């Protein structure tokens, strides 16, 4: 039988925007995050404390995080049907606790990133590893083994600071450089991240080549090392399989899924490439299955349209188009 509720981790303001050609200003990223919280999302990734030389889109993440943690301006930029539901949440924002019940994770690749994130008030940080050595080298300039050594230091410092730790594994179904990745390789990295103290491990199908069968085989290997309550599915929708992969993961007991409003992400120069599974597609799926997400579909689609206007395009997801047409 299905769980009564799942948790959606909104990654649009990070994973979604890190691929955009033109970096969006801090004010727009802050407003996006506030609107997502207004739609009912309780876990909203706010940015990445990575090198601005490599990912200029995430420059200013310290300011984004500090501003969302401080709460909205008194007049309230957050509007929409669901805003009332979380009003207590978005007006809270006192430091030292998860602001108003909303968690704002940020990516940290190393100690330098962690220190900057802590200074900005981060309460949850995420390290990111990969199941492919080549991808690890390209993404964070070190091998998987070296990254795990580095993350041991980061995890220790995060624990000392009393913040929650998330761990990503990229390329869980395939790698853009190495092709297919063995489920056992994913399980090994997931187990290592768990051993470092990661509270939650997010399994990334970075290039969206997984299908329900390969995702199931990958998860069966990972579940021998890490229990389902500690796992999240993070599926990119490049080939349109992400919703099916979420469903396959739900069948194996996962209850946390990463998604990006409007299906943000992807490269404008790679026709057909797309971002994470759209958050509104998962809300539609779970609404239909009778599984609570706490997210208001209409308010979420409004947010997809709003950020789409900032990026100069309509939301990519079919659910957004269908909701707008009704």
Which of the choices ligand HMG, Mg ion, none does residue 187 contact, using the CB cut-off of 5 to 8 A by kind?
Answer: none
Q: Report H helices in the chain.
A: 26-38, 61-70, 87-91, 111-119, 133-140, 144-161, 183-196, 212-223, 242-251, 279-289, 297-311, 318-325
Identified binder of ligand HMG from the candidate list 41, 140, 193, 231, rule CB under 6 A = 140
Q: CA angle, 275 as apex, 270 and 276 as ends, to 5°?
A: 160
From the CB of 239, what's the least distance to ligand HMG, in Å?
Answer: 14
**Which one of Mg ion, ligand HMG, none interacts with residue 34, CB within 5 to 8 A by kind?**
none
Given 15, 45, 237, 281, the residue binding Mg ion (CB under 5 A): 15
Instruction: Decide if residue 206 touches ligand HMG (CB under 6 A).
Output: yes
Residue 40 to residue 99: CA distance in whole angstroms: 14
Tell me the residue number closest to ligand HMG, measured at CB.
Answer: 204
Site for ligand HMG in 161-180 (CB under 6 A): 168, 170
Q: Which is nearer to Mg ion, 15 or 133 (CB)?
A: 15
* Minimum separation from the CB atom of position 184 to ligand HMG (A): 18
Partner whose binding site includes residue 110, from Mg ion, ligand HMG, none (CB under 5 to 8 Å by kind): ligand HMG
Task: Compute the half-sphere exposure of residue 56: CA atoms within 13 Å on the CB side of its CA.
Answer: 7
Q: Is 276 exposed, middle or buried (0-12, 13-18, 19+ CB in 10 A)?
A: buried
Catalytic residue (choose from 142, 175, 198, 267): 267
Tokens of 4: 């009564």
Region from 15-23, 47-55, 67-75, 298-306 binding Mg ion, contact rule CB under 5 A: 15-23
Nearer to ligand HMG, 126 or 301 (CB): 126
**DSSP 8-state code for residue 14:** I
Residue 18 interaction partner, one of Mg ion, ligand HMG, none, beta carbon < 5-8 Å per kind: ligand HMG
Give pairs for 180-184: CB < 8 Å, separation 24+. Answer: 181/131, 181/132, 183/217, 183/218, 183/220, 183/221, 183/222, 184/221
Residues 6+ apart with CB under 8 A from 214: 173
Cα 175 from chain centroid? 19
Residue 267 known to be catalytic: yes
Residues with Cβ within 8 Å of residue 264, at least 6 apart in sequence: 12, 15, 16, 17, 275, 276, 307, 311
**Nearer of residues 15 and 103 to Mg ion, judged by Cβ:** 15
The single residue among 22, 54, 153, 159 that binds ligand HMG, judged by CB under 6 A, is 54
* Binding residues among 13-32 for ligand HMG as defined by CB under 6 A: 15, 18
Residues at the contact surface with Mg ion, assessed by CB under 5 A: 15
Could you list the active site residues?
Answer: 267
Residues at the contact surface with ligand HMG, assessed by CB under 6 A: 15, 18, 48-51, 54-55, 107, 109-110, 112-113, 128, 139-141, 168, 170, 204, 206, 234, 236
């Amino acid at each position: 039988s299905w769980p009564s509720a799942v948790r959606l981790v909104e990654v649009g303001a990070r994973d979604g925007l890190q691929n955009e050609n033109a970096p969006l200003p801090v004010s727009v990223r802050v407003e996006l995050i506030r609107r997502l919280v207004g739609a009912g999302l309780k876990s909203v990734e706010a940015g990445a404390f990575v090198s601005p030389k490599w990912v200029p889109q995430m420059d200013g993440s310290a300011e984004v995080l500090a501003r969302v943690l401080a709460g909205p301006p008194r007049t309230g930029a957050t509007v929409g049907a669901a805003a009332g539901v979380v009003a207590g949440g978005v007006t809270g924002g006192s430091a030292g606790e998860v602001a108003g019940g909303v968690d704002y994770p940020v990516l940290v690749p190393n100690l330098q990133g962690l220190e900057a994130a802590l200074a900005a008030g981060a309460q949850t940080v995420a390290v990111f590893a990969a199941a492919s050595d080549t991808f690890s080298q390209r993404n964070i300039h070190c091998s998987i083994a070296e990254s795990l050594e580095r993350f041991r230091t980061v995890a220790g410092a995060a624990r000392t600071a009393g913040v929650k730790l998330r761990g990503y594994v990229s390329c869980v179904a395939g790698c853009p450089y190495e092709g297919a990745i063995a489920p056992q390789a994913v399980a090994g990295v997931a187990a290592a991240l768990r051993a470092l103290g990661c509270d939650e491990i997010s399994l990334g199908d970075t290039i969206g080549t997984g299908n329900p069968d390969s995702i199931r085989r990958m998860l069966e290997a990972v579940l021998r090392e890490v229990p389902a309550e500690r796992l999240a599915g993070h599926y990119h929708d490049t080939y349109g399989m992400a919703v099916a992969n979420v469903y396959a993961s739900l069948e194996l007991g996962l209850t946390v899924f990463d998604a990006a409003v409007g299906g943000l992400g992807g490269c404008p120069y790679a026709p057909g490439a797309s971002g994470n599974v759209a958050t509104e597609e998962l809300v539609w799926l779970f609404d239909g299955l009778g599984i609570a997400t706490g997210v208001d579909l209409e308010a979420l689609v409004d947010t997809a349209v709003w950020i789409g206007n900032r990026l100069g395009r309509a939301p990519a997801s079919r659910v957004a188009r269908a909701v707008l047409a009704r």
